[in-house]
Amino acid sequence: MVEFLEEKRVFSGRQIRYQHDSKVLNCQMVYSLFMPNIGEDETVPLIWWLSGLTCNDQNFATKGQFQKYAQAHKVAIVIPDTSPRGDAIADDEAFDLGQGASFYLNATQAPWKDHFQMYDYITEELSELVKSQLPQFNGKEAIMGHSMGGYGALMIGLRQPNRFQAISAFAPITDLTNVPWGKKILSAYLGTDQKVWETVDPVKLVQQDSVPPILITQGTADEFYPEQLQETAFLDAAEKSHATVEYHKVEGYDHSYYTIATFIEEHIDFLSQHLS
């Protein structure tokens, strides 16, 4: 059952919020959907936005400033929450583990495995639900995100390269298996087997034969950049495998939604170009 929560008119499109009972996550979930204003005979592609640590579906909806460009290109945008939620669901005091910090993975370890199945939730359950709400969906999809969600966009987009036409990310965690955030959450959610880690590592995944075009924007004043968001291993791997990766370093921009709002037009243009 999907419950309508609210709808706001924006740049002639509609920013809508829904709630539903997720079977995959075994809890209630909220998500947001931007629907552009289109004619009866027009169709829309779908872009997925995955947010970063501590976010829910509202951060990008209210601060991303994407609606004007999504309307101009007539693309629908879905914004899932970043994890299962609820008092009965495992959590951690730290902001980078547990609720708000799923890393979009299917956890195999206790206490996370009972609810933290975000990969299946995004790619199967929520996909089916959102597509059923888009009668004019044209079958084409792209995926984008920020920080943990930038990682999620790369991981999901690279694991399903025939499904997603393009990938874009702001300040993504690319070298997950070697940075502090990655080592911590991979051990917690997936255990310590490095072979398993490789299956969700963008540095490994970008070396496969089929890689959708990728755009990345990274601010030089991003407080997480030096320790968590280093790009060298990913860009070296992409170059070796002749993947198409545009990496834009932007001077003086930080990790916040101000940076996303500044460069979102470029990202929507990029993804739309591959969705038309």
Positions annotated as catalytic residues are 147, 222, 255
Q: Is 54 in the site for ligand GSH (CB under 6 A)?
A: yes
Rounded to 5, what percent of the chain is helix, strand, coil?
A: 35, 25, 40
| Sheet arrangement for strand 2-10 | 2-10, 13-22, 27-35, 76-80, 44-50, 137-146, 164-170, 214-219, 245-250
Closest CB to ligand GSH among residues 106, 147: 147
Cβ neighbour number for residue 93 with a 10 Å cutoff: 6
Q: Which stretch binds ligand GSH (CB under 6 A): 39-47, 49-57, 117-125, 261-269?
A: 49-57
Does the footprint of ligand GSH cover residue 97 (CB under 6 A)?
A: no
User: Around 100, how many Cα atoms within 13 Å sit in the side-chain half-sphere?
Assistant: 12
Q: Three-state SS for 129?
A: helix
Identify any residues that bridge with 50 across adjacent strands, giving them in sequence order.
145
Torsion of CA 206, 274, 64, 90, to 10 degrees: -40
Q: Does position 185 bind ligand GSH by CB under 6 A? A: no
Contact between 62 and 159 (Cβ < 8 Å): no
101 contributes a contact to ligand GSH by CB under 6 A: no
Q: Is residue 98 close enough to count as binding ligand GSH by CB under 6 A?
A: no
Taking a C-beta distance cutoff of 8 angstroms, is the pair 245, 141 a contact? no
Distance of CA 222 to the CA centre of its chain: 19
Residue nearest to ligand GSH (CB): 52
CB of 197 to ligand GSH, least distance (A): 20
- Cβ proximity to ligand GSH: between 231 and 237 the closer is 231
* 258 binding ligand GSH? (CB under 6 A): no
The stretch near ligand GSH (CB under 6 A) out of 29-37, 54-62, 155-163, 230-238 is: 54-62
Q: Which range touches ligand GSH (CB under 6 A), out of 48-56, 119-127, 193-201, 206-214? A: 48-56
Q: Identify the residue among 53, 90, 144, 211 touching ligand GSH (CB under 6 A).
A: 53
Cβ at position 257, least distance to ligand GSH in Å: 5
Tell me the one-letter amino acid at 180: P
Contact characters 120-159, ligand GSH, x per CB under 6 A: --------------------------xxx-----------
Closest to 172 measured CA to CA, from 106, 242, 135, 222: 222
Residue 58 CB, shortest distance to ligand GSH, in Å, is 9
- How many residues form the binding site for ligand GSH (CB under 6 A)? 12
Residues of the shown chain interacting with ligand GSH in the complex, contacts defined by CB under 6 A: 52-55, 59, 95, 146-148, 255-257
